[in-house]
Amino acid sequence: MKNNTVRVSPSIDAIISATYVELRKDSPFNQNEPHIHKETEIYVNLSGDVVFEVGNRIYPVKRGSVILTRPYEYHRCIYLSEELHRHYWILIECDSLENLFKFLGGKGEAESRHVRLEEEVLGKLESTLDMLISKSSSSLKQNIAFFELLSILSEEKDIPFAESEATLPADVLLALKYMDGHIGEPIELSELARASFVSVNTLERHFKDTLGVSPSVMLKRKRLIYSTRFLRDGASVLEACERSGFTDYSGYISAFRLFFGMTPLKYKKGTSENTLK
């Protein structure tokens, strides 16, 4: 594992932490649990049998895949086998997210992105990141590498999510889509199994084998993540609770704190402080 932290200025006042990582599924350094942080994250895959979960989406990850997640956006990498997972992990803390995301494709707001680089472009990006990580690189070279990183990503087109769904069992995909379509409504496990054309036992087994959690746990996670959308848009905690399908207000707050490591109100305040202007 190699890493470095660089201060970039003056056009974009940013602190960037870049790390090269090689891990296997059973490594104690794996962060398998869902997590959030205030920095923008850029994940670059070089090898490994994994999928990447961002918010309520699950992306397939192949060599050359790049996932960009916004601040306070839930995400995790899911290992599907023991194959060695080689990747870069970049965190960017930036005072001016508006300028940062303009460099990353001209988007008007911070949002997750998924692109896939051709080998030639991936090789160029690897060289750029190696320069950024190297502690022997001068400050000028590290600043050049940072802007080269932004330039490469800004030129790539997003892969439409409909074309990038992970290779998961058909019943798991059907269940996930059913959850998304009825996220604010009561959903019974038997109802979910019928919509997926399998038995409850089969659905539960496939979820645990591929995603590591039961359908019920995944549904709760999706509702918690869905509620953050309302909190970011200025809704009250009670409104976010009700609109995301929770019927127990105190239970929602407890589940949110356990899942995200903070209360809904603290999350709301944190994201409002980082909202693009």
What confidence tens digit (pLDDT) does each residue in 36-55 have?
A: 777 888 999 999 998 888 87
Which helix (H) or strand (E) covers residue 3, if one does? Answer: strand 2-8
Domain match, 118 and 15 both: yes
From 107, 130, 163, give the residue that closes a domain: 163
Put simply, whether the predicted model's pTM sits higher than 0.85 gets the answer no
What is the structure's pLDDT at 144?
A: 87
Sign of CA dihedral 210, 212, 213, 219: negative
Domain match, 51 and 152 both: yes
Q: Is the per-residue pLDDT at 102 higher than 70?
A: no
Given pLDDT bands bounded at 50, 70 and 90, which one contains residue 15? confident
From 140, 163, 186, give the residue that closes a domain: 163
Sheet with 113-116, side-by-side order of all strands: 2-8, 14-23, 85-94, 40-47, 65-69, 113-116
Q: Is the per-residue pLDDT at 275 higher than 60?
A: no
Q: Nearest to residue 76, comparing CAs of 94, 50, 44? A: 50
- Give the separation between CA 88 and CA 44, rounded to whole angstroms: 5
Q: Which domain holds residue 77?
A: 2-163
Domain match, 64 and 179 both: no
What CATH number should be reported for the domain holding residue 224?
A: 1.10.10.60
What CATH number should be reported for the domain holding residue 40?
A: 2.60.120.280
From 137, 163, 189, give the residue that closes a domain: 163
Tokens of 148: 């080269």
Number of domain units in the chain: 2
Given pLDDT bands bounded at 50, 70 and 90, which one contains residue 161? low
Domain match, 210 and 232 both: yes
Q: Is the per-residue pLDDT at 117 higher than 70?
A: yes
Domain match, 45 and 154 both: yes
Domain match, 143 and 196 both: no
Bridge pairing between strands 14-23 and 85-94: antiparallel
